Amino acid sequence: MAKELIERSKVEEKNTWNLKDMYESEKDWEKDVEEVKKLVKVVEGFEGKATKSAKNLLSVLDTYFEMLQKLIKAHEYTARLFDEDQGNSKHQSMNQKMMSLYVDVAGKTAFIDPEIIATSDETISSFTKEEKGLELYEKYIKEVRRLKDHTLSSEIERVAAMTGEMAQAPNEIYEAFTNVDIEFPSIKDENGEEVRITDARFVPLLESSDRRVREDTFKAYYATYKKYLNALSATYSSEVKARIFNSKLRGYGSNLEAAVDANNVSPAVYKNLVESVNRNLSKLHRYVSLRKKCLGVSELHMYDIYTPMIKDAAKEVTYEEAQETIKKALAVLGEDYVKLLDEAFKNRWCDVYENKGKQGGAYSTCAYGCHPYMLLNYNNSLDAMFTTAHEMGHSMHSWYSNQAQPFVYSEYKIFVAEVASTCNEILLLEYLLKNCTDKKEKAYLLNHYLDSFKGTVYRQTQFAEFEMRTNEMQEKGEALNKENLCALYKEINEKYYGKDMVSDEEISYEWARIPHFYYNFYVYQYATSFCAAVAIAERILKEGEPAVKEYKKFLSSGCTDAPVELLKIAGVDLTTGAPIDAALSKMGEIIDELEALV
């Protein structure tokens, strides 16, 4: 583990993403930016007459989506440059320029949806018959009109769009502070050497077999956050207030309703998940008890939750080894899938290692017409290999959708965004378990499987419950100050982990380090997606090609239907509690299996 982060300029090129695949030069990017500005002016010219004729409607939609495709690509370029090193002032300025352009474009094109909504069904139908080109946009128009009750007049939509940059401010402040400004202290590692804590190193340090390292890391990390709780609670409260403004403006009953409706999902799906997981907390409590037993401690603390339960079984996994293992594990998805994986690894779709100023965590993103890009902070661990497989799942989902769908339908909804990524993880884990002959190594992998359930189903639902309750508090006029946020978070944490876990005081500050609380009710989808992915992976392993074919059809569907309906293509029905129940039942079986081994 490097003691200090290296400068971006010192990272080997082979371990960086190749942004020249997007734009060969900055001048090429600038050309697209200027083209976007020209196309926006053309779109503006249709205001007040977008649906006066079939020809007008086709022209405005054709021009709008041509512009939007270029805008997204131009923004993706600057966002990737910015995330390489968020301390680079030039790239920061370029990215801010694109964000401002996004807001400007949103305001100038805000009339389109209201004018489509204000047009009668009969007129829209006649337009489609008159202009065959409009057949492409039938599903888009239907989706726009689905939100009729929550779409405002052109004038108010323009004003609402102008607030977009302000609404992003809490998240921008949070990211600037946590990614660039905040500095954590150093602690002594297992060898007594000084290691500076960073966000990317936090969990790996908590995975240490040395309990003193875990405790020191945990306490030093959260002691740093404790200093800034007033500022971070004000930042989060501002985020929730911005959501309240938007949901009230659009006539929704709550922030939750507004957030999930954007993906054509019922709030009942969200609430059912929280209720189902709460009913099954006994399995998480069993997991905690088993962890306490395996670690052989009289008290289990929150800093003990990441270290492997099975000691001395962890293996270092280099990035090169991870690539080969991932390709073997995902061979069940077909030669075409493996060929794509190979291309991604060889042709620099990934930015691999941590460097100074780089965005923490991991993600996959994609602009239509170009291959996906993945940001990693690889650290030679088993978790890092799974993260790589996870992000590759996102990338393959994007690639298949982009290849099969026109731009207007290429971007899949957030609700299904975590299915392909999690399915990759499960297939990798099942592959490793199948090919494992060592009892201790098998126990270690089962531990990892359980940690996936804990981290993705239970932990994300814990976050989802916290987010739901904090939004409800603010909607009722209750203050989201540091005292209320910390008390609520600790209360929920104690409920989830049960009596065998000591919910240390520091854990009440954890909400302050979770960036997803600025993603507007995003995290519940990790849990629903994990449950769906468990079902899909089991089908693929049991049924083979027929299940793979249906799965790839799902991957290729973009946003051509409601996400809950698209999942049915792959054999998963989330309108019922069956996938969640089945996944948690699977967790119970894994606990049984691990208990028998230890």
Cite the active site residues: 391
Q: How far apart are CA 40 and CA 19, in angstroms?
A: 26
What are the percentages of helix, strand and coil residues in the chain, rounded to 5? 70, 5, 25
**Tokens describing residue 536:** 């899909």
Cβ(450)–Cβ(504) under 8 Å? Answer: no
Biggest CA-to-CA distance, the chain:
76
Distances (CA, A) of 129 to 50, 52, 366, 370: 17, 15, 34, 33
Q: How far apart are CA 39 and CA 32, in angstroms?
A: 10
**Tokens describing residue 210:** 């040395």
Distances (CA, A) of 223 to 203, 289, 307, 508: 16, 28, 21, 11
The 8-class DSSP code of residue 144 comes to: H
Q: How far apart are CA 326 and CA 547, in angstroms?
A: 20
Task: Count helices and strands (H / E) in the chain.
Answer: 26, 7
Q: How far apart are CA 223 and CA 225, in angstroms?
A: 6
Indicate the helix (H) or strand (E) that contains 73: helix 54-84
**Tokens describing residue 123:** 């007129």
The 8-class DSSP code of residue 200 comes to: H
Query: From the CB of residue 516, how many other CB atoms can be counted at a distance below 10 Å?
Result: 15
Indicate the helix (H) or strand (E) that contains 416: none
Phi-psi category of 294—alpha, beta or left, where left has phi over 0 and alpha has psi -120 to 50? Answer: alpha
